[in-house]
Structure 1
Amino acid sequence: MTAPHLPKVAGIDAPVPAPAHTVAPTPASPETAAAPPGGPSCPHPPNAPGLALQDQLAGWVSDLTTLHELTERLARTNGLDAALTELLRAGAALVGARRGLVVWEPQDGRGPDTVVGLGLGRADLGHLETVPRDAMPYGTLLDTPAGLPGGEDELVRPDLFAEDGLDPRHREVAARLGYAASYAVPLSTDAAGRLGAAMWLYDEPAEPAERPRHLVGLYVRHATEHLARLLEVERMRACVSTLFEELLPSRLPRVAGVQLAARHRTGPRGGGDWHDALPLPDAALGLAVGSVTGSGPAAVATMARLRASLRAYAVMEGEDPVAVLSDLELLLRLTEPARSATALFAYCEPALRRVTLAGAGHSPPLLVGERRTEFVETSVSAPLGMLACWEAPSTEFQAEAGETVLLYTDGLLHRTGDSVDRAFARLHAAAASVPRPLRRDPGAVADHVLATVLPDGLDATDGGEDVVLLAARFE
């Protein structure tokens, strides 16, 4: 492949669907139809301008149809990685390439930085990363402050092995991966600036023709605007998720006579579900779970205030869970009159394995043991902030040695997509099916329940609510 080659011209590849609308050719005139095969002919027949215009219109319709279908597929993506992959596929179809990659590096340095390949495995991408950055087209596009010479917005290398001064490592990697030409374009917007670069690879010396290059330029400009919006959404989700994770306890306390484990997953919009476990005087333990209405940063902030307040109320009067929730309800009504919340607080005495709890519109705990798996009976009560004055009686129950109490938020039930009764039945069946060896570990119990109730995973199930599960096993 070291000998120079005449570059091929790449056009629109077959994966691009044919246009749905075409212009029918104009039927031949009687004079033209009657002309004998060897008779006189005119180099420019009278209807030549009309045929040329029809061909031009048909080309425009074909291009618009192609771009419409490709941009529709891009608009259906709902994640940054999926959109980058779709951009690569569409660009490869337009310029007639088989493989490519996107190097995503937002100019503002806030990330996320990633590399997405098309037709390239992880090992192939690793080989490409060993090539000096300034020798790769994407490096030139990303690292040249003033842009390409002449103000161009693309970089065509039709025959790598015919270039003088090709980087030796680039030559070696290109020969290993079997590509001989490349076509690269920047990904940038006026508002967001440079976001990344896309590059497509040809197996043989080639370059895209003028029409496909024009189409891919139009498509990439639209795609980059879509990617910029997805980037902002991705950053917001990451910010809310980080904030949510930091506001919840990273480590659970060690209390004699009880083992603790917690599982929580933030929904895509970032909600207000929370949990807490705190040591109390007289070797007692306070357990709490709750959920704030709404989603996003405002709901997370409200959740943080309620959780911090509940800790203070639990230290002052934790032996009376009703008083704890009454104080919390008063605080919510005075400071967040437009919001409501559900909460459950349990005052545990590990030495006696006795639990006293009160709930405000919250789902009942689930008791999992060797001889029983049952929901704890709690009084029916309204959520916090719904009534002028909240109050409900507390409930007390006795746990046996080796039993685990599961506290959870409603997101676990909602993500099943079932009705309330069926969701409770699924949760009960999941807890009852925990294998005996796993029941000694509250973390294993929580993982088994989550995997059974949500078999498709937390990210694939219906709904985007938070899921919180707090497990306490009494020794």
Structure 2
Amino acid sequence: MASNAPVGKPTDMSSPRLPKVAGIDSTVPAPPDTVAPLPGVPSAAPPSDAALPPGVLIQDRLASWVSDLTTLHELTERLIKTDSLDGALREMLGAGAALVGARRGMAVLEPADGLGPTSTIGLGLAHADLGTIETVPRGSGSYGRLLDGLPEADPPGAGLPGNSPAAPRRPARVPEPIAIRDVRTEEGLDPRHREVAARLGYAASYALPLATEEAGRLGAAVWLYDEPAEPDERRRHLIGLYGRFATEHLARLLQVERARARVATVAEELLPSRLPRVPGVRLAVRHLTGPQGGGDWYDALPLPEGALGLAVGSVSGTGPSALAAMGRLRASLRAYAVMEGEDPVAVLSDLELLLRLTEPARSATALFAYAEPAQRRIILAGAGHAPPLVVGDHRTEFVETSLSAPLGMLTCWEAPSVELSPAPGETVLLYTDGLLRRTGDATDRAFARLHAAAASVPRADRSDPGAVADHVLRTLLPGGLDPAVEGEDVVLLAARFE
């Protein structure tokens, strides 16, 4: 690989002039054999400047420093606005291409601790191009050498009381960037590397480790030039500063992403691992969670004599405390359903008393249905919950339930139950309020949209409760549930009676 020693003058780059970034143009034109200077970053002064008066040289140097700082400020401000790993990697790739004067590139997220997540993002490269680059042996590719050659930092917690060995955390050594000025003439490259470069049409590359001494290795980025080139000393300095800032930002986003994954895992573990199989009814469920993890839940419990208990509910709050409360509430409801499931009002009354005594500051909504699939008979009661929706070939209508307060809101909760007899082939939809609120519409408008979505289920899909649930979700939330947007979870439980 070519050394990383600073070069004496700018070399020829391969990219066209990029859009203005910082709002300051170079006052000194670049030599004709180089790429256009990075907008907002003045070019290195030509040798003739040595004959200029000292005061002019100082002014030019100060202007250059101000321009560099302005450029870095603009680029880091744009980067800090990203709130996802994918978005940050794409922003970093684009800004890095402007700083080093390249047109294409790729970033590989591969944390050294092996805990993930991992991903590969391309700039100006199709998915097939990324796959082609990955066929190059890692030891020959510059980004692969950075990923494999960087020592790992000690894992978090090393050296703290109770951990062994009791040694202070050692920062990881950060390797130098790797520049390949000309793939055709570079010594020691694997023949496959030259073949891939010729196929994709790049002649040089500059690879930067996404690593700092404290964060360790998170990944690597490599930018590709169409002609033999490498960034000059000034561009190396700028991309180095920007790369360190980008790595720290990625490290913060990585911690957030892992925390979200842990919360999602806990939430899934607190819910049924699979739906029961009960003769006479087919079940399907869709559960979408937000970034903080909410307290929405569902349950399907086989009961004696072929009966089935169906429940959906929501606990106030988000995060670990709401998940814990949701788990306790769901476990309690299962116990009450086994003891007195034929009386949904008694089940919810017991649940309300438990919530009021154990968690007086928390409220919850719940709906419990006692179903006898053989007789196609359902008895249900709700506490502050939205009414179920029946979907069939001849009707699409909400079940008329009485209005009632959520659990934990009154000194003593009680509301009458209702009985429902679905026809053969009809599907009963139980859902949480998050489905309505995620639409962003007023309550009456959200109910109207839900009714229209259920009524528009294609006839061919109505025999499959999963297809019915998917159609309703696609219609109400065409963009899905944005994981970056705070909000309630969405639960949709579908039961089709044969």
Q: Does residue 1:136 correspond to 2:141, yes or no?
A: yes
Check conservation: 2:174, 2:211, Cα contact below 8 A: no
Query: For 1:262, which of 285, 292, 303 is the aligned residue?
Result: 285
Q: Which residue of 1 aligns with 2:160?
A: none
Deviations 1:379-413 (A, max 9, x none): 21111122232222222222222221110001110
| Letter in structure 2 aligned against 1:104 | L
Partner SS, residue 99 of structure 2: helix
Deviations 1:27-46 (A, max 9, x none): xxxxxxxxxxxxxxxx9999
The 2-side partners of 1:23 and 1:128 are apart by 35
Query: For 1:213, which of 236, 254, 266 is the aligned residue?
Result: 236
* Superposed displacement of residue 7, structure 1: 9.4
Q: Does residue 1:315 correspond to 2:338, yes or no?
A: yes
Deviations 1:274-326 (A, max 9, x none): 11111111221110001111112222222122111111110000011111112
Query: For 2:294, which of 264, 271, 274 is the aligned residue?
Result: 271
Check conservation: 2:314, 2:365, Cα contact below 8 A: yes
Q: Which residue of 2 aligns with 1:438?
A: 461
Deviations 1:355-387 (A, max 9, x none): 111111111111122222211111211111222
| Letter in structure 2 aligned against 1:374 | E
* Superposed displacement of residue 203, structure 1: 1.4
* Superposed displacement of residue 146, structure 1: 5.7
Deviations 1:407-453 (A, max 9, x none): 00011101111001100010011112222232222222211211112
Query: For 1:453, which of 473, 476, 488 is the aligned residue?
Result: 476
Q: Which residue of 2 aligns with 1:119?
A: 124
Check conservation: 1:13, 1:92, Cα contact below 8 A: no
Q: Does residue 1:68 correspond to 2:91, yes or no?
A: no
The 2-side partners of 1:87 and 1:57 are apart by 27
Deviations 1:12-55 (A, max 9, x none): 97325253357999xxxxxxxxxxxxxxxxx9999933322221
* Superposed displacement of residue 208, structure 1: 0.4
Q: Which residue of 1 aligns with 2:37?
A: none
Query: For 2:86, which of 74, 81, 106 is the aligned residue?
Result: 81
| Letter in structure 2 aligned against 1:407 | L
| Letter in structure 2 aligned against 1:17 | K
Check conservation: 1:12, 1:95, Cα contact below 8 A: no
Shift of the 435–172 alpha-carbon distance from structure 1 to 2, 3 Å rule, reads closer
Query: For 2:199, which of 145, 163, 176 is the aligned residue?
Result: 176
The 2-side partners of 1:151 and 1:103 are apart by 16
The 1-side partners of 2:49 and 2:354 are apart by 88
Q: Which residue of 1 aligns with 2:169?
A: none
Q: Which residue of 2 aligns with 1:357?
A: 380
Check conservation: 1:183, 1:199, Cα contact below 8 A: yes
The 1-side partners of 2:141 and 2:49 are apart by 49
Deviations 1:56-96 (A, max 9, x none): 22212221221122112212222101111111111011101
Structure-to-structure mapping, 1:92-103, within 5 angstroms = 92-103=97-108
Q: Please, what TM-score do these two structures have when normalized by structure 1? A: 0.88
Q: Which residue of 2 aligns with 1:471?
A: 494
Q: Which residue of 2 aligns with 1:197?
A: 220
The 2-side partners of 1:114 and 1:461 are apart by 18
The 1-side partners of 2:150 and 2:279 are apart by 62
Q: Does residue 1:14 correspond to 2:17, yes or no?
A: yes
Q: Which residue of 1 aligns with 2:186?
A: 163
| Letter in structure 2 aligned against 1:125 | L
| Letter in structure 2 aligned against 1:117 | G
Identity of aligned residues (%): 71
Check conservation: 1:286, 1:345, Cα contact below 8 A: yes
The 2-side partners of 1:15 and 1:24 are apart by 17
Name the Cα RMSD after superposition. Answer: 2.7
The 2-side partners of 1:433 and 1:52 are apart by 73
Shift of the 189–385 alpha-carbon distance from structure 1 to 2, 3 Å rule, reads farther
Q: Does residue 1:300 correspond to 2:305, yes or no?
A: no
Q: Please, what TM-score do these two structures have when normalized by structure 2? A: 0.85
Q: Which residue of 2 aligns with 1:381?
A: 404
Q: Does residue 1:247 correspond to 2:270, yes or no?
A: yes
Check conservation: 1:257, 1:350, Cα contact below 8 A: yes
Shift of the 163–455 alpha-carbon distance from structure 1 to 2, 3 Å rule, reads closer
| Letter in structure 2 aligned against 1:95 | V
Shift of the 23–117 alpha-carbon distance from structure 1 to 2, 3 Å rule, reads closer
Check conservation: 1:159, 1:205, Cα contact below 8 A: yes
| Letter in structure 1 aligned against 2:204 | A
Partner SS, residue 290 of structure 2: coil
Shift of the 189–151 alpha-carbon distance from structure 1 to 2, 3 Å rule, reads closer
Q: Which residue of 1 aligns with 2:363?
A: 340
Query: For 1:225, which of 248, 265, 268 is the aligned residue?
Result: 248
Q: Does residue 1:57 correspond to 2:62, yes or no?
A: yes
| Letter in structure 2 aligned against 1:306 | L
Check conservation: 1:291, 1:303, Cα contact below 8 A: yes
Check conservation: 1:274, 1:289, Cα contact below 8 A: yes
| Letter in structure 2 aligned against 1:142 | L
Q: Which residue of 1 aligns with 2:419?
A: 396
Q: For structure 1, which segment, 433-442 or 276-285, has the greater mean C-alpha deviation from structure 2 after superposition?
A: 433-442
Check conservation: 1:277, 1:286, Cα contact below 8 A: yes
* Superposed displacement of residue 463, structure 1: 5.4
The 1-side partners of 2:444 and 2:486 are apart by 18
Gapped regions of structure 2 (runs ≥ 5): 1-8, 29-47, 153-172
The 1-side partners of 2:281 and 2:50 are apart by 96
Q: For structure 1, which segment, 121-130 or 213-222, has the greater mean C-alpha deviation from structure 2 after superposition?
A: 121-130
Partner SS, residue 305 of structure 2: coil
| Letter in structure 1 aligned against 2:22 | P
Gapped regions of structure 1 (runs ≥ 5): 1-5, 26-42
Q: Which residue of 1 aligns with 2:161?
A: none
Check conservation: 2:308, 2:371, Cα contact below 8 A: yes
Q: Which residue of 1 aligns with 2:155?
A: none
* Superposed displacement of residue 187, structure 1: 1.0
